[in-house]
Amino acid sequence: MKKQYITISLLAIATLFTACSEDEKPYYPPPSTGGEGTEVATAQMWVTSGDQSRLLAAQDNLSIVDNTETTYPAITINSGEQLQEIEGFGAALTGSSAYLIKNKLSAAQRNALLADLFNAENGIGLSYLRLTVGASDFSLEDFTYDDMPSGITDENLDNFSIAHDETNVIPVLSDILAINPNIQLMGSPWSAPAWMKTNQSLYGGTLSTSYYNTYANYLVKYIEAYATHGITINAITPQNEPLHTSGYPTMKMEATEQAAFIKNALGPVFAANDIDTKIIAYDHNFDETSYPLTVLADEDAAQYVSGSAFHAYAGEVSAMDNVHAAYPDKDLYFTEISGGEWSTDFGSNLKWYTRNILIGTTRNWSKTALFWNLALDTNHGPTNNGCSDCRGVVTIDDAGDVSENVEYYALAHFSKFVRPGAHRISSTTFDASTGLYNVAFENTDGSMVLIVLNESPSTKNFSVVLGDHRFDGSIPQSSVATITWNY
């Protein structure tokens, strides 16, 4: 689906979230299978279908009745059992994404796109962004904030500058903050400056122990430099994908090295400079839980660590629960997954993302669910020697037309309705044979949100029990539904 953002208005954006067109047959709530009861309230429902016949489309309201009898597959929600607090849903504003948004769109197109992405009333309300600290595989070029000629060092960081970010990233961030001043930001470095590393290169190598304090101060300067633009970095990871090296900016950092860096440099340097930015360990795949467990087992390091972050390119989402079970006082964050040309079917991706990344991570204690690039072009870039066929949350073409990808709709079912500060609340699970999956939340205003995924090839009726009350719903095959209520 493409939108022309040249003449679009906020009213036009809002139509994305209105009811289906008149010639499109809506899904009506099924008849009650238990006692009818008396309606005490109504719930609102939005659906995205795998066949794209509905894209975050409002459905008829569901009746909440004072009767719990049902023969449909049912779950029970207990709002009295609050679990982790949600910090937000979103993606990464990479250098490539910021470049496209700033340079490939007119001012009107850019304002409309950012309103669509970050306004919760008339858009999908993304509430969390990840930033690359320096260059990544999705930047216009290789750089850090303190690059020096070969053989020259800068221990005092006199050459430190975020000028690269002031070209595209910071202007776009400033526009986003004008729409959502409370958006949360996480910074993740791909590499320290080459002169701080054992191999004197931005590619691979490790951080020299002699530069631990220098690199910690480098990250302090990054946080402080962004603050001069009115931008708060809420969290930082010491290294993106610390077990991966490649022909673009990367840096190896084993678990014991990360623990040593945190306890001997980053934590104390943050404390000495009154930096309250959270330190988040790991920031790599589900399959190596020994890494965050090693960092958290080091008490001297763990005192500075708020939690651990995960990616989904290997392993299973249950890994997050394993870390939570070992360290329930430490937070968990899901920080990266990308779609791409290796998987182009909308319905298959919608189901996989919803089950594993959005329902999966939040049911396994994550406070965030973030995709990779916020925006890419029709050639899957600009790239910097990394993935050549990745897909952004949206695609921007040379004419400034924007296509909303499956990642946009998967995120929207959470980001628009589950707002920062919400808590996941207890909900039982459907029998596995139904193909139904769910997660529930309570917002700070008392409104409730339930997301239901139907992975099965047929429409499913279901019931939701709320204490002495119940509502029945119907969800099409291969679809996602978000249901909200407040009473």
H/E element holding 440?
Answer: strand 436-442
Q: Please state whether beta strands 88-92 and 402-404 pair in parallel, antiparallel, or not at all (unpaired).
A: unpaired
Q: Could you give the residue ranges of the DSSP H alpha helices within 273-403?
A: 290-297, 299-302, 318-326, 346-352, 360-363
Closest-CA residue to 367 (of 289, 423, 286): 423
Tell me how far apart the alpha carbons of residues 250 and 388 are, in angstroms, rounded to a whole number: 17
Q: List C-alpha distances in Å: 79 to 84, 142, 368, 426.
A: 13, 48, 20, 6
Which one is catalytic: 87, 257, 288, 336?
Answer: 336
Q: Which residues contact 107 (CB under 8 A, 6 or more apart)?
A: none
H/E element holding 62?
Answer: strand 62-65
Which one is catalytic: 241, 404, 442, 455?
Answer: 241
Closest-CA residue to 125 (of 411, 421, 451, 443): 411
State the residue for tokens 């509430």.
127
Amino acid in the structure at residue 455: E
Tell me how far apart the alpha carbons of residues 171 and 160 are, in angstroms, rounded to a whole number: 19
Active site residue 22: no
Q: Could you give the residue ranges of the DSSP H alpha helices within 180-274?
A: 212-227, 255-261, 267-272
Peptide bond into 31 cis (omega under 30): no
Tell me how far apart the alpha carbons of residues 444 and 182 are, in angstroms, rounded to a whole number: 15
Active site residue 241: yes
Q: Could you give the residue ranges of the DSSP H alpha helices within 53-168?
A: 95-103, 107-118, 163-167
Tell me how far apart the alpha carbons of residues 304 and 11 are, in angstroms, rounded to a whole number: 46
Tell me how far apart the alpha carbons of residues 483 and 451 are, in angstroms, rounded to a whole number: 6
Q: Which residues contact 358 (CB under 8 A, 6 or more apart)?
A: 89, 369, 410, 411, 413, 414, 439, 451
Amino acid in the structure at residue 428: T
- Catalytic residues, by residue number, are 241, 336
